[in-house]
Amino acid sequence: MGISVRNVSFAYEPIHEVVHDATLTINPGESVALIGPNGSGKSTLLRLIAGGLRPNRGSILVDDRDIATYGARAFARRLAMVEQQHAVSFDFSVREVVAMGRMPHRGRFARETADDRQAIHRAMALAEVDTLAKRSIRELSGGEGQRVFLAMALAQEAGILLLDEPTTFLDLRHQLAFLSIVKRRITEGTTVLLAIHDLTLAAQTADRIAMMHDGAVVHDGATTDVLTAENVRAVFDVTVAIGEDSTSGMPYVLPSLHEAQNGDDHSSVECAWDVAKQRAGQDP
């Protein structure tokens, strides 16, 4: 299932568009990382695609069909989303929360089927929350809760997965485990769009990168074409060195922490490159 965003604009207030004339196409089975500074419109664009917001202009298609024409359950069978933050009003157990991901596949009051139970069990095991099954969702740490909501999205078994800063609150091990799960879903044919701050994780997870700035998609293409020092400098106002890991061949981004306040500090940029070379074992 693919996604097509066509010249979409959206404003929370009439005088300020948060998303401006955004265009983005994600082919079925493709993974795209959405990057950009805070306030660039990434989360809002994801919410528009998920149907939580309606664009002021433009259109959004999922599976070649305008999302406004879907019923709620039919749309939920096609698209699942994991947001940055989750408000839980009731004292549900972890398993009950994960089981909510199966609601699009059965009636509101229908009992769980064998397929439901299998999907719930598989999702909880993948997200490493099966040992938390009986605990209250409100008792968990931020990282544990994030993994529970990933499990709920996995149990939904939708063809499209949207992730908004999915590694927020996660420690390093669980960040890598989380993204390993995402990459596994990609290999299984799931279409994935994730907004993520960590440029290295973005480069190592997705097939393609789309860079947003001031509400617009300003760069979209292969990782090596989009994730350049020049583009990062222009959009994030940060000097970086971009290298390639000598073992895996994966790219990584190394920011300079000692930039001059006025103008480029060439010595600090050279230092960043030196460190990058050492880390990669070759010239980046």
Mean pLDDT calculated for residue range 255-284: 48
pLDDT band for 258, please (50, 70, 90 cuts).
low
Topology of the domain covering 1-77+158-171+184-223 = Rossmann fold (3.40.50)
What global pTM score does this model have? Answer: 0.85
Do β-strands 191-195 and 16-26 pair in parallel, antiparallel, or remain unpaired? unpaired
Domain(s) of CATH 3.40.50.300: residues in the chain: 1-77+158-171+184-223
- Whether the pLDDT of residue 110 is over 60: the answer is yes
Question: What is the average pLDDT value for the chain, to the nearest integer?
Answer: 86
The CB density around residue 64, as the number of other CB atoms within 10 Å, is 9
Q: Which residues contact 63 (CB under 8 A, 6 or more apart)?
A: 1, 2, 78, 159
- Whether the pLDDT of residue 279 is over 50: the answer is no
Do β-strands 191-195 and 31-35 pair in parallel, antiparallel, or remain unpaired? parallel
8 Å CB contact between 226 and 199: no
pLDDT tens-digit readout, 6-21: 999 999 987 788 999 9
- In degrees rounded to 5, what are phi and psi of residue 199? -70, -30
Q: What pLDDT is stored for residue 131 in this prediction?
A: 94
For residue 265, the number of C-alpha atoms closer than 13 Å in the C-beta half-sphere is: 15
Least confident of 12-26, 180-194, 269-283: 269-283
Among 119, 138, 115, smallest CA distance to 80 is for 119
8 Å CB contact between 143 and 175: no
- Whether the pLDDT of residue 79 is over 60: the answer is yes
Element (H, E) at 173: helix 172-187
